[in-house]
Amino acid sequence: MPHPIMYRDDDPGLAELRGIALAFPEAVEKISHGRPVFGAPKMFAVYGGSSKATGTMVAYPHAVLVKVEESERRALEQDRRFFFPMYLGPSGWLGLDFTAAAVDWIEVRELVDASFRLTASPRLIRTLDGS
């Protein structure tokens, strides 16, 4: 049984995230588990997520999930806009809730860039860097 679609094309921040994510070399969008997922070919960003950090599931339908460097994780976890996403959190991912505060799209671009660099092949990173 396929997962239900858990977003709409006019959801807050989705168009902006698409513009950012699809600008990376060989990036594509697909639907996985009912959510937009951006990969090249490995997944580097997801729109929407949920958390169960407090024992109760909390949905974050308007958010981006990104892989983060371990050295950055602790600082980001102190920011109330970030959450530990179910399933992906143990693999080094965090979520940024777009509804917690005004979205800084430069910050989102930097987070997606860092996530891309953690998941992409060396060839794609060279392409991104223009070498």
- Which pLDDT score, from 0 to 100, does residue 2 have? 82
- Which pLDDT score, from 0 to 100, does residue 72 have? 95
User: What token pair was written down for 18?
Assistant: 């698409």
Q: Which amino acid, residue 35?
A: R
Say which DSSP state 99 is in: T
- Which pLDDT score, from 0 to 100, does residue 54 have? 75
What is the spatial distance between Cα 5 and Cα 36, in angstroms, rounded to a whole number?
9
Q: H or E segment at 14?
A: helix 14-21
Sheet holding 82-83, edge to edge: 28-32, 35-39, 43-51, 58-67, 93-97, 82-83
Give the start-to-end residue ranges of the domains of the chain.
14-121
| Series of mean pLDDT values for 10-residue runs along the chain (131 residues) | 92 98 98 97 97 89 97 95 96 97 98 98 97 77
Q: Which amino acid, residue 67?
A: K
- CATH of the domain spanning 14-121, picked from 3.10.310.40, 3.90.1150.30, 3.30.365.10, 3.30.9.90: 3.90.1150.30
pTM of the model: 0.96
